[in-house]
Amino acid sequence: MYIDTEHCVRAVQSKDARFDGWFYTAVLTTRIYCRPSCPVVPPKAENMTFYPSAAACQQAGFRACKRCRPDTSPGSPEWNLRADLVARAMRLIGDGLVDREGVPGLAAQLGYSTRQIERQLLAEVGAGPLALARAQRAQTARLLIETTALTMAEITFAAGFASIRTFNDTVREVFALSPTDLRARALRTRAPRPAPVSGALSLRLPFRAPLTPDNLFGHLVATAVPGVEEWRDGAYRRTLRLSYGHGVVALAPTPDHIACRLTLTDMRDLTVAISRCRRMLDLDADPVAVDDRLRTDPLLAPLVDKAPGRRVPRTVDEAEFAVRAVLGQQVSTAAARTHAGRLVTAHGQPVEDPEGGLTHLFPAPDALAALDPEALALPRSRRTTLTTLVAQLADGSLRLGAESDWNDARARLTGLPGFGPWTVEVIAMRALGDPDAFLATDLGVRRAAEHLGLPSTPAALTARAASWRPWRAYAVQYLWATDDHPINVMPA
């Protein structure tokens, strides 16, 4: 997209917010880079050049616009659409892996040499892994400077910087303001906010409009595991297992952003917590591209027009969701919650939640690997399925994280006992994040297809759904929404 100069110029001149995050506009005369929807008068076309990432702009010597704040753009939807080396590397960098383990750690996760990763990232996004991680640290630092009362020393290490000097130099270089000037400017311009809960960070998570939150929050709440998730005071709340500790997040939809309140035991986990919350709510999706494709089917078009911008409810923990998918095989939503709740009570790590009723982290694969199968109130075949899955997750032979290749993960899941098409595809859709995952055998999908006049047998429906690619996971959301199941209703 970003190398097509003519289209980029048109997007900037029309201030089209749909392209925010797809590319960045660098102005040669002012040495400033902006998002395409920047509200200032567009520069002359000959003074514009375009980059695929904020890191590439910074590396070329441009600083962030103080007006449109390009560092707060939604992420590029390109990385959610693909599972190649570059896309997986971008997801891992967004998850804070380079800050924790460096470029060698990134290479080890992906199974490539550091040189190969550097070469491919430079070719496609214009910056290497260190520059991309640095841009992310700068964005996190700005967020903390402007929205919290943390000291600059606390912000330095929470954002992933190794020293206060590096923190100060980076902020000045990227934003052309010192950290204290950034905070003073924010205090002058922002509207008064409610007093935050003690120890919590209040953030705004941007998204591309439109966004229909009904099925997104409805699904998360209807399937919520007691003690791990809840709906309270208009927000979906859950516990998070993070790299340095744990946290509790509360997420509530508003017309132009998702209100996020985070409580963390270690501030170094902020970047990964934000990344996982964005991923769970599918906030980096491109709803216009999705809906335009699905509207080409005359039977889906009325559903899209009725509630455009549906998202795929995903997860903050891929291993957790895989376990829950097995527990949900051939049972009702309520029964799946009951089974998961028993696992949490028996094997979950207790946590304190001063705000509500969250009591545990969902048990990690290591904790579940030692469970006694006979203690599970499940059919014998389902016990075998669960224990085999947990064993492979615990020893690392099955990987479902951001580093995983979708086709390889599907093949490994299919080889496990008790894993049929429904289980494999629901994990691909909600854990792996494949936007083209399709649940052709799902009862709700087949019932909706029959009601709409679509083929209802799995083979025929799959053939008809070929025209919906690569967005079949979103088509599933629209099909599910034809039912009056609680997953489709915004909680009261």
Contacts of residue 235, defined as CB under 8 A and 6 or more positions apart, other chains included, come to 250, 251, 252, 259, 261
Determine whether 34 is an active site residue: yes
- CA 105 from chain centre, in angstroms, equals 21
Whole-angstrom Cα distance, residue 191 to residue 246?
31
Catalytic choice (20, 99, 317, 442): 442
Comparing C-alpha atoms, which of 375, 351, 213 is closest to residue 281?
213
Catalytic choice (8, 20, 34, 68): 34
Comparing C-alpha atoms, which of 57, 87, 47, 69 is closest to residue 284?
87
Three-state SS annotation for the chain? CCCCHHHHHHHHHCCCHHHECCEEEEECCCCEEECCCCCCCCCCHHHEEEECCHHHHHHCCCEECCCCCHHHCCCCCHHHHCCCHHHHHHHHHHCCHHHHHHHHHHHHHHCCCHHHHHHHHHHHHCCCHHHHHHHHHHHHHHHHHHHCCCCHHHHHHHCCCCCHHHHHHHHHHHHCCCHHHHHHHHHHHCCCCCCCCCCCEEEEECCCCCCECHHHHHHHHHCCCCCCEEEECCEEEEEEECCCCEEEEEEEECCCCEEEEEEECCHHHHHHHHHHHHHHCCCCCCHHHHHHHHCCCCCCHHHHHHCCCECCCCCCCHHHHHHHHHHCCCCCHHHHHHHHHHHHHHHCEECCCCCCCCCEECCCHHHHCCCCHHHCCCCHHHHHHHHHHHHHHHHCCCCCCCCCCHHHHHHHHHCCCCCCHHHHHHHHHHHHCCCCCCCCCCHHHHHHHHHHCCCCCHHHHHHHHHHHCCCHHHHHHHHHCCCCCHHHCCCC
Whole-angstrom Cα distance, residue 48 to residue 71?
18
Q: Are 251 and 258 in contact (CB under 8 A)?
A: yes
Determine whether 277 is an active site residue: no
Q: Are 249 and 237 in contact (CB under 8 A)?
A: yes
Contacts of residue 93, defined as CB under 8 A and 6 or more positions apart, other chains included, come to 106, 129, 132, 133, 136
* Active site residue ranges: 34, 442
